[in-house]
């Protein structure tokens, strides 16, 4: 069995990754590690311990002794999802972003180096490249030019990972993915926020002129890409991951409205986000050529499936929106 530590396992992509890896990698034993911030929810991992190949440990990536304890048994791989992830929150306060995204990554890198492992994967974002004009796509050679405290902290972590590979030969890989959507996404990000607002009969707040472009990828495709990087990625490399699905926010909003049978009167135009990146688009040729991965979920199908998931899991998002799941955790695990 390959023992794989998954930090940030109780969040959106981490929990989807654990589920997907349990399905497709029979020789992996996964240890989920998560601080359970406002975005982490143990209910996202409900039932997975029963597979006998998953366990959950509550802890912070900034806590070096707690991270060291994860290495008490040999670790084959570590994949780091743990982060503060919302751009708008980073505009209101950057401290937690620097602490977790940079400081926490440094702790993980030091413990990985001290104890040894076969592969370290840093899950990063296309946002480290900054903003594109109407033409072109980000490649792994694009310069880092982050515009928000969130993306700046992710870029800082990417550079730290690179330095540990160069300086200490740590077998580390960085991935940079475009915007994800799918089940279990926290309803502060645009797709689940808009779906759940509409289900509650509320309007959806569209920033600025709504012509900003994002390159959407279904979370299952992202997780499959990460599994191939963890298994077969070359240390020292960066791999871009993208959905090849560029949409303006206006087009995205109309697609969500259509799916829920609502009209344009549900759109509320609001003030733009400061330094709002205009366009992201990923060139994912490298991972396609070198690791044979490409996205499979078509956007219309993936969006319909996602809307259905939020319709069918109203208790999940209502609890998350109201902070109820924190109480569930205290009942289940006896406090924090
Ligand atoms: P999320 O906010 O849903 O989950 C983050 C998780 O990290 C939560 O469970 C939270 O409790 C945990 N966490 C936060 N601080 C921690 C700490 N100090 N110690 C331990 N755990 C901590 O985010 P997500 O959307 O699942 O993103 C996961 C990763 O993927 C992030 O690194 C993000 O930058 C990256 N990413 C996200 C997207 C996207 O579209 N969501 C795209 C590309 C890359
Ligand atoms: P978001 O989901 O926050 O992801 P990111 O900023 O990391 O790309 O936002 C996606 C796009 O949707 C982005 O262009 C900002 C826009 N947006 C809105 O128009 N209204 C909203 O309420 C939110 C949260 C985002």
Counted domains in the chain:
1
Measuring from atom 15 of ligand 1, which residue has the nearest CA?
A: 83
Q: Residue 124: in which H helix or E strand, if any? A: strand 119-125
Choose which residue among 83, 216, 239, 281 to substitute to test ligand 1 binding: the one with the highest number of ligand atoms within 8 A of its C-beta.
83
Report how far ligand 1's centroid is from the alpha carbon of 218 (Å): 16
Q: Going residue by residue through the chain (336 aa), what tens digit of pLDDT does each one get?
A: 999 999 999 999 999 999 999 999 999 999 999 999 999 999 999 999 999 999 999 999 999 999 999 999 999 999 999 999 999 999 999 999 999 999 999 999 999 999 999 999 999 999 999 999 999 999 999 999 999 999 999 999 999 999 999 999 999 999 999 999 999 999 999 999 999 999 999 999 999 999 999 999 999 999 999 999 999 999 999 999 999 999 999 999 999 999 999 999 999 999 999 999 999 999 999 999 999 999 999 999 999 999 999 999 999 999 988 876 666 556 655 543
In contact, 16 and 220? CB cutoff 8 Å: yes
The model carries a pTM of 0.97
Range of the domain at 223: 2-333
CATH number reported for the structural domain that contains residue 40 in this entry: 3.40.50.720
CB 62 near ligand 1, within 6 Å: yes
Measuring from atom 5 of ligand 1, which residue has the nearest CA?
A: 11
Instruction: Find, among 37, 122, 159, the residue nearest to 86 by Cα.
Output: 37
Tokens 């029963």 found at: 50
Query: In sequence order, which residues have a C-beta less than 8 Å from that of residue 138 and are 6 or more positions away?
Result: 126, 129, 132, 176, 240, 280, 281, 282, 283
In contact, 280 and 214? CB cutoff 8 Å: yes
Measuring from atom 37 of ligand 1, which residue has the nearest CA?
A: 125
Report how far ligand 1's centroid is from the alpha carbon of 262 (Å): 31
């Amino acid at each position: 069995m390959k023992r794989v530590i998954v930090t940030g396992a109780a969040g959106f992509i981490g929990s989807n990754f654990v589920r997907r890896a349990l399905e497709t990698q029979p020789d992996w034993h996964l240890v989920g590690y998560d601080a359970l911030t406002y975005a982490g929810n143990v209910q996202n991992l409900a039932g997975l311990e029963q597979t006998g190949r998953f366990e959950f440990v509550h802890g912070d990536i900034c806590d070096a002794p707690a991270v060291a304890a994860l290495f008490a048994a040999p670790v084959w791989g570590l994949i780091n999802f743990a982060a503060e992830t919302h751009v708008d929150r980073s505009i209101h306060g950057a401290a937690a972003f620097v602490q977790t995204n940079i400081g926490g990554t440094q702790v993980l890198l030091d413990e990985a180096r001290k104890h040894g492992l076969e592969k370290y994967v840093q899950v990063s974002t296309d946002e480290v490249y900054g903003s594109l004009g109407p033409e072109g796509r980000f490649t792994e050679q694009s310069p880092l030019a982050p515009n928000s405290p969130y993306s700046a902290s992710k870029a800082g972590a990417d550079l730290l990972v690179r330095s540990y590979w160069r300086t200490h030969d740590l077998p580390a890989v960085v991935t940079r993915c475009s915007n994800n959507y799918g089940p279990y996404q926290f309803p502060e990000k645009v797709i689940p926020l808009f779906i759940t607002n509409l289900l509650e009969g509320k309007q959806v707040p569209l920033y600025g002129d709504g012509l900003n472009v994002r390159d959407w990828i279904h979370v299952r495709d992202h997780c499959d890409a990460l599994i191939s990087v963890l298994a077969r990625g070359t240390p020292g490399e960066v791999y871009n991951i993208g959905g090849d699905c560029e949409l303006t926010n206006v087009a995205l909003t109309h697609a969500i409205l259509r799916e829920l049978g609502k009209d344009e009167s549900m759109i509320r135009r609001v003030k733009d986000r400061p330094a709002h990146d205009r366009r992201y688009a990923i060139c994912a040729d490298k991972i396609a050529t070198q690791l044979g991965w490409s996205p499979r979920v078509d956007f219309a199908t993936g969006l319909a499936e996602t809307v259905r998931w939020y319709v069918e899991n109203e208790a999940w998002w209502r609890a998350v929106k109201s902070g109820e799941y924190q109480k569930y955790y205290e009942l289940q695990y006896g406090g924090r």
